[in-house]
Structures are given as structure tokens and as C-alpha cells.
Structure 1
């Protein structure tokens, strides 16, 4: 029984470390997003009703809507289109559940949520981004349905986006999203 108990404690420590490291990454991205102008709404830790998991960041502003998945990984990664590869035991192995798949799922969930609220996203630019914190990664072939950026370049990318014509729609989306946002602050 003691061995079983110790293994549960160790798994909890590992998951806790992973959660803590993830939160560190999300806080870093949030700090960069806080540099955006006042006409951008920045939501952190968004929990959509009826969905498991969360969306790390959603930004709504004059250049559209951005769904951002933050990953704070160590190791060696290569991104080849929508395929993520991780270096282990002398070779690259394909990741089954990769951040690109996660951010696209989160984007679809957000689109469905807004559509259910009567907000048509048909003519609105919604961009999926992965903010990747990893010292050794390389994009070999650009993914087709999302961008992979380092955190400090995320605000610049957002600001360079195409200006949206329907600001009323963006304001409505921001208001609907507000009750789904959870702000978690950790004293530093």
C-alpha cells in the first residue's frame, strides 16, 4: 500500500510541475498581450460552457479574434506542417496530441460558441496561434491552419493583422466571452 501511495504522490508532483510550468508560460504570454493597445480585449483562461479544458488566451480587437494556445516545453521539436516531432532516443517521433491540433479544436469550439450566441463568424477573421516557449524548435514547413510564434512576437503579429470592418460584431463577441473568462494571478 505504501508503494502505491508513493507512486500516486510522485505522479501528482510531476503533473504539478507540468501545471506550474504551463502557468509560467501562460503568464509570460499574458504579460506580452498586456502591451496591446486599449482597444484590444485580452481574455486569459477561457472556459466555454460544456467544453472540457480551457483556452489559454483569446484576444479580440480591431484586427480580429485570436485563439492562443501556450506551450512551455523543453526538449527538441520540429514542426512540419500540421505534424509535430519530438526528439527522443536519437530520433524524432511524431506527437499524437500536438498543440496545433489543440488550438484548432479550441478555435472551432469558440466559433461554435459565438454562433450559438447569434454572432456569425462567417466574415470575421479568427486566427489560431501557438505561443511556443521552447529553446530548440524549428518550423520546417509552416502549418496551414495556424501559426507558431515565440511569445514576444505575438502582439506584433496581432497588430499587423487585417483590420476588421464589423467592430460591432467584435464588441458583441467580447461581451459574450467575458463571463467565460477566469483570471488566475500568482504573486511573484
Structure 2
């Protein structure tokens, strides 16, 4: 489970992070470029070079010595004029819907080109293949989950929908930042199919966990989630105290009345209502850090080109 114990100590006052904007080191006065790893003092709202040792306070200057010139108050690179996002950023399901439309239109053109006279009849008589309609169904699932997130979104729950993975055509359905950490959520819509955990090997051999949906082995969904988790953890490597958890959320599935959720290979599997409840649990992240993490993830995983 990724939920954080409410008794977990609060984040330290000094936080090592990458700056959104350029700032000035409060210890040596040197300029610090945007994107540089630096120490941010939340209480004083100042930044410092990671290579600078904290200065010891002097009670009084030595006799006969000239008072040192005070450095100007440094600009706060975290909060002053910092860009901000809405609690919900991006359009859920936009890229999946666009991919469905692209495939649908490509098929229409192919059929009409091959059968100039019968093309319209064939298109009306035969539906798109399942490899095409799957994108439409997936878009609906993402939209439904995105709407559920939007109802709960605010300062303590921020959402990034439909994020592009740089240098690939792939995307991340949802990134949710809340008090207990970051949740990478992959929305899946397998109508009336029941997700189940199957364990092999144990107790007489190595334990192996498998994901089945509607009786079919779908462990590749878990493997895909682990790839996304690796990317998100790399983007937040400078925040080792922020938990990053993976969730496969099945929309319109055949869930049992009691129980049903489970964890397979460290990825949680559940339905939307249970996920929403879990995202509302307490944790160590405050509203400022939640906003900071949302922005950093936005920079690492920008809006998909179809999300506007």
C-alpha cells in the first residue's frame, strides 16, 4: 500500500529541489539558474547552493572590524511570480479519443479507395475492428475517471491528465498529487470483466503474481505501469521522500460486492470510488509541496498535444 502513516514526521524545513526560476544564494550571494538543484528554506523562503556550507551565526563582530555588508534579500524562486496550474490540468482521454478518430478516418479512406462504388455500404454494414474501438472505449474510461478526480480536486489534490512521455508516442493517463504522495493512474475499461490476482509457485517455489481480467492473462498492464513508475520516479529523484505509487483503475468492471481490490507486483488494482477514497487519506505533503510537485511533473510530462 502507498498510503502514508499520518504519524509520519512533517517534511524538513530545508528541502533540496530543482528551482522553477533563477534565484540568489542566501549564503554566498551567487546566482542560481532555474532548473538547478538547490536547498530551499521553507521558513525563510530563501535558497542556497548545495555546495555552500550553512553559515554559523556570529553573536557580535570582532572589535575594530568593519561591519560586513548585508546582501540584499534574495528573490524567492519558488513562490515569487512562479507559474501555477489549475488543480486539474489537461483533458482526460483526449489522446485516446484522437487516436480512435485517426484510425476510424484512415479506415474510411482505405475502404472507399479500394471500393469506390460499395465503400459507403461496406462502412455502414461493418463496424471498426476491435483494435480501433478499443481506443474509443479507453477514452471513455479515462474521461469518467477524470470527472471523478475533478469533483475532489483542490489545493490538497491536484491532477495532471493525459501527459505526454517525451520522445515517445505514449502517454500517462493521470498523475495525481495528494498529501500521501504521487499516484500514477492507468484507467482501464473492461466492461463487466472481473480483475483477479492469481498466484503461482507459492508455497513450494518462488511466488509469481499474475493479473487476470475476465479470465484472460493481462499482466502486461502491470509491466506497462512499472515503466511509467520508473519515469516518474526519475523525474522526482531529487524528492526521495515523496512516495510514488502505481494504480490500475478498472472502470465499469465486474467488481464483487465485498472486497475485490488487490496488489499485484507492487501495483494496486481497484475501482474509481475506492481510489478516490484512498487519495483523500492524510499524509506528509502540504499544499505548497503538492503544488510544487504538480508543477515539476508538468514540466517533465507536458500536456499531450491533443490535450490543448
Q: Same fold (TM over 0.5)?
A: yes
What TM-score does the superposition give when structure 1 sets the normalisation length? 0.74
Going from structure 1 to structure 2, the CA distance change for 1:41 and 1:144 (only over 3 Å counts) comes to same
The match for 1:105 is 227
Offset of 1:147 from its aligned partner? 1.4
Equivalent position of 2:144 in the other structure? 28
Asked if the contact 1:60–1:66 (Cα under 8 Å) also holds between the matched residues in 2, the reply is yes
Q: Point out where structure 1 has 5 or more consecutive residues left out of the alignment.
A: none
Structure 1 residues 66 and 156, CA gap change in structure 2 (3 angstroms): same
Normalised by the length of structure 2, the TM-score is 0.48
Q: Which moved more, 1:61-70 or 1:75-84?
A: 75-84
C-alpha distance in structure 1 between counterparts of 2:168 and 2:243, whole Å: 23
The structure carrying a bigger strand percent of its residues is: 1
What is residue 122 of structure 1 aligned with on the other side?
Answer: 240
Segments of 5+ residues of structure 2 without an aligned counterpart are: 1-109, 116-122, 199-208
Residues 86-165 of structure 1 aligned to structure 2 (within 5 Å): 86-87=213-214, 92-98=215-221, 100-115=222-237, 120-137=238-255, 139=260, 142-164=263-285
Deviation at 1:37, TM superposition (A): 4.0
The 8 Å contact of residues 48 and 113 in structure 1, kept in 2 or not, is answered as no
| CA shift in 2, pair 1:102/1:11, >3 Å | farther
Please name the residue that 2:64 is paired with: none
Shift of the 140–19 alpha-carbon distance from structure 1 to 2, 3 Å rule, reads: closer
Q: Is the 2:159–2:294 Cα contact (8 Å) retained in structure 1?
A: no
| 1:36-91 deviations in Å (ceiling 9; x for gaps) | 2411221111112234411100011322111000000135344216411245xxxx
1:108 is displaced (CA, Å) by: 1.1
In the alignment, the residues of structure 2 paired with residue 55 and residue 140 of structure 1 have an alpha-carbon distance, to the nearest angstrom, of 22
Higher relative contact order (CA 8 A, sep 6+): 1
Provide the rounded CA distance (Å) in 1 between the counterparts of 2:135 and 2:163: 16
Counterparts of 2:192 and 2:153, CA distance in 1: 34
1:148 deviates by 1.2
Rg comparison, structure with higher value: 2
* Number of equivalences: 172
**Counterparts of 1:172 and 1:153 in 2: how far apart (Å)?**
26
